[in-house]
Structure 1
Amino acid sequence: MAQPNKKGPTKTVDIFCKKCNQQLYKYRKGGKGALVKCFKERISEDFTRTPCTCPNCEAVFARDTLIRGAPAFKMIGGKVWFK
């Protein structure tokens, strides 16, 4: 299977919790589609204390998984937004 690009894109997006608008990650996102998954190697800044849990409202926003052999967070629909 194909591995995700190691270098990744240079454009970063800020990912926020939908419930309380707390910033969760700065992420190097490729493409212009919806945010479905976050590869861990592309996260440039992590503002969470425990993985996949909002530090402010304690809402679970993602699941820890492997995608194409690389560790990633699979986002739960409607729990996060980005700009």
Structure 2
Amino acid sequence: MAKPNKKGPSTTVAISCARCRAPLYRYRKGGKGALVKCFKERIVEDHTTEPGHCPGCGLEFARDTLVRGTPAFKIIGGKVMVK
């Protein structure tokens, strides 16, 4: 399979915790679909202290994984909000 484009899309979205509304990431997302994974190279701003865990409430919102050979976070359904 092809690797994701390193530059990625120019539009950014704000990702926040669904439980406590703490900001998690600014992410360059492409397409109109739901947020299923976050490629680490597309994260513009990272507000987390521990990878995959909310800095406000400590909720695990993502798991570390490889997608198409590229490091990414696999988002757990319903744990984050995208704006």
Whether TM-score is above 0.5 comes out as yes
Q: Deviations over 1:14-68 (max 9, x none)?
A: 0000000000000000001100000000000000000000000000000000000
Are 2:16 and 1:16 aligned?
Answer: yes
Q: Percent identity?
A: 69
Distance 1:57 1:6 in 2: 31
Deviation at 1:6, TM superposition (A): 1.1
Distance 1:2 1:29 in 2: 17
Distance 1:6 1:53 in 2: 25
Distance 1:6 1:26 in 2: 16
In angstroms, what is the RMSD of aligned CA positions? 0.4
Instruction: Identify unmatched segments of 5+ residues in structure 1.
Output: none
> Matches of residues 1-83 of structure 1 in structure 2 within 5 Å?
1-83=1-83
Question: Structure 2: which amino acid aligns with 1:41?
Answer: E
Instruction: Identify unmatched segments of 5+ residues in structure 2.
Output: none
Question: Structure 1: which amino acid aligns with 2:2?
Answer: A
- Across the two proteins, how many residue pairs are aligned to each other? 83
Distance 1:74 1:44 in 2: 17
